[in-house]
Copies of this chain bind each other. A is one copy, B any other.
Amino acid sequence: MEYKISNRMKDMKGSAIREIFKVAGDPSYISLAGGNPAPELFPSSALAGIAAELLENEPVLSLQYGVTEGYKPLREAIRARLMRIENIGTPDDDVLIVSGGQQAIDLTTKCLINEGDTVIVEEPSFIGALNTFRSYGAKLAGVAMDNEGMKPEDLERAIAENPNAKIIYTIPTFQNPMGVTMTIERRKAVYEIAKKHGLIILEDNPYGELTFDGTKVPTIKSMDTDGVVVYCGSFSKILAPGLRVGFVCGPAALLQKLAVAKQGSDVHTPMLTQLLAHEFMKQYDIDSLIVEMRNLYRHKCQVMLDAIEQYFPAGVTHTTPNGGLFIWCDLGEGVDTQKLAALATERKVVYVPGATFMTDMSKPCSGLRLNFSTMPDARIVEGIRILGEVFHDALKK
């Protein structure tokens, strides 16, 4: 039988990252490709105790159907924490639990985007979000980035060129893939532009707590007095990604619709994983765990930056993140990092070529993303050394 795939899905392919993951699963490869948190910081023993206790003492709560909006005490704990650490949340806002931050993006798109509408995105941006937008038939319009984030004047241009634009998608803090942070001035500008044109800002902030020096630029959501911002957060990078517990904070009027969409998608996020996140926050100090992560990632980032300075050819530029999981490098005009990725893979080092993160993936791209959170220090250095050789050879030609 021949399968007629829907228009929205027929040109969709698995993300390049996903294919790279399959190679990267092989431990003989040095993977600088994924976005995996450092597994040595998973509080697995604490979670083991909590899980056993919950299933023994609260079997019905842990195993029976739950409500779509999420476990109420967890919603309340997240609401309180968002207020405390990010100054987020007005009386008109609500918090929903979702199955990872990805689902917040999915549901928001499903509720706001008609086929042919435009989503405005940073260029480069997170492939998982770009593909979700594409999977609902959205057109993507890229806004140029520099070390201060999305350029407001380019955002204005994108809106002018796309009268059907409905959403501005941004990862303002420790952006994926660039690792850069949008300045407060630009955040204010982006917020005002969105408000003026009646666009929703989808603020994705999975890495915000992973600040190396403890400083934070205020989230766009913290400025939101008009119900313009839908804010996505997640336990993936501050507890464990395999749990798939995320949350969304936004205008209650809109989140009601997201809950209807979620009901049709997976009914509710598993009770056990929600309860693990909730009990961990109750019984342990998640802020201390996050401080450990910050320290580890600051160190690993520095290891990678030092290796880049030592091994990469002069002329390769890189970002210098103040948090998060990623460094972005640029090999200079005319270099196609997709081709070089094949050579690197032959030498058992994998990274994600920059074209993956672009609105038009078919154009050659001289950028690439490196992840520093997953590999041990020595493997980071070795991986960068090998990449340095591959890049030297390529740039000589």
- Count of chain A residues near B, Cβ 8 A: 90
**In chain B, what residue has the closest Cβ to A271?**
B242
A63 CB contact (under 8 Å) in B47, B64, B110: B47
Q: Does A18 contact B (CB under 8 A)?
A: yes
**For window 15-67 of chain A, which residues contact chain B by CB distance below 8 Å?**
15, 18, 21-22, 34-37, 39, 42, 44-45, 47-49, 51-56, 59-60, 62-67
A267 CB contact (under 8 Å) in B55, B100, B135: B100
Bound CA span A3–B114, Å: 13
* Segment of A252-260, A297-305, A321-329, A358-366 in the binding face: A252-260
User: Is the CB–CB distance between A265 and B55 below 8 Å?
Assistant: no
Q: From DSSP, what is the main secondary structure of chain A's interface residues? A: helix
Q: Does A1 contact B (CB under 8 A)?
A: yes
* Segment of A6-14, A143-151, A348-356, A377-385 in the binding face: A6-14
- Set of chain B residues within 8 Å of A273, measured between Cβ atoms: 270, 272-273
Q: Does A266 contact B (CB under 8 A)?
A: yes
User: Is the CB–CB distance between A264 and B132 below 8 Å?
Assistant: yes
Bound CA span A117–B113, Å: 19
- Set of chain B residues within 8 Å of A6, measured between Cβ atoms: 110-114, 117
User: Is the CB–CB distance between B52 and A135 below 8 Å?
Assistant: no
**In chain B, what residue has the closest Cβ to A224?**
B1
Q: Does A241 contact B (CB under 8 A)?
A: yes
Bound CA span A241–B131, Å: 29
User: Is the CB–CB distance between A7 and B257 below 8 Å?
Assistant: no
User: Is the CB–CB distance between A56 and B63 below 8 Å?
Assistant: no
Whether A65 touches B8, Cβ cut-off 8 Å, given contacts A51-B51, A128-B264, A267-B100, is: no
Q: Does A179 contact B (CB under 8 A)?
A: no
- Set of chain B residues within 8 Å of A257, measured between Cβ atoms: 3, 5, 9, 12
- Set of chain B residues within 8 Å of A241, measured between Cβ atoms: 63-65
Whether A266 touches B111, Cβ cut-off 8 Å, given contacts A48-B56, A273-B272, is: no
**In chain B, what residue has the closest Cβ to A51?**
B51
- Set of chain B residues within 8 Å of A114, measured between Cβ atoms: 6-8
Q: Does A263 contact B (CB under 8 A)?
A: yes
User: Is the CB–CB distance between A251 and B1 below 8 Å?
Assistant: yes
Whether A68 touches B111, Cβ cut-off 8 Å, given contacts A12-B261, A103-B266, A257-B12, is: no
User: Is the CB–CB distance between B110 and A9 below 8 Å?
Assistant: yes
Q: Give the copy number.
A: 2
Which of A60, A66, A195 has most B Cβ within 10 Å? A60
**For window 263-287 of chain A, which residues contact chain B by CB distance below 8 Å?**
263-273, 276
Q: Does A227 contact B (CB under 8 A)?
A: yes
A4 CB contact (under 8 Å) in B36, B42, B166: B166
User: Is the CB–CB distance between B265 and A14 below 8 Å?
Assistant: no
- Set of chain B residues within 8 Å of A64, measured between Cβ atoms: 36-37, 39, 42, 240-242
- Set of chain B residues within 8 Å of A65, measured between Cβ atoms: 34-36, 236, 241-242
Q: Does A102 contact B (CB under 8 A)?
A: yes
A244 CB contact (under 8 Å) in B8, B227, B270: B270
Q: Does A159 contact B (CB under 8 A)?
A: no
Whether A62 touches B36, Cβ cut-off 8 Å, given contacts A264-B135, A266-B102, A270-B244, is: no
Sampled A-B contacts (19; CB under 8 Å):
A3-B112, A5-B112, A6-B114, A8-B110, A18-B67, A36-B64, A39-B59, A42-B59, A47-B55, A47-B63, A49-B52, A62-B242, A64-B241, A102-B267, A242-B271, A242-B272, A244-B268, A270-B273, A272-B272
Using a CB–CB cutoff of 8 Å, the interface residues on chain A facing chain B are: 1-9, 12-15, 18, 21-22, 34-37, 39, 42, 44-45, 47-49, 51-56, 59-60, 62-68, 99-100, 102-103, 106, 110-115, 117, 128, 131-132, 135, 166, 195, 198, 200, 226-228, 236, 240-244, 251, 253-254, 257, 259-261, 263-273, 276
